[in-house]
Amino acid sequence: MFGFQGDETAEAVARKKGYLRDAQKHWKFLTHYDLSTIRTKGQFCNMIKVRASLSEEQATKDVDAWMAGKVF
């Protein structure tokens, strides 16, 4: 999801870097390493759930709201 692959365009890399910084502003406890290892929305939701001590439903709702309009 936030991780970079070798065949991505410069635009895609810049977009992901922006999303990564935005996620770190939104969830202060996320590190660059945390985000660079997340590959799926499920992994992202689970990390938010565990680190923020939220229910699965609330974590998913928060992630969905944050992801709205973003292209990964």
- DSSP string spanning 39-61? -SHHHHHHHHHHHHT--HHHHHH
Could you tell me what percent of the chain has a pLDDT over 90?
A: 75
What residue has token string 């991780």? Answer: 3
Element at 5 (helix H, strand E): none
Highest mean pLDDT among 14-18, 53-57, 68-72: 53-57
- Asked whether the predicted pLDDT for residue 4 surpasses 80, the reply is no
Spatial separation of the C-alpha atoms in residues 25 and 14, rounded to whole Å: 17
- Asked whether the predicted pLDDT for residue 33 surpasses 90, the reply is yes
Which residues, in sequence order, are CB contacts of 60 under 8 Å at separation 6+? 45
Q: pTM of the predicted model, to two decimals?
A: 0.87
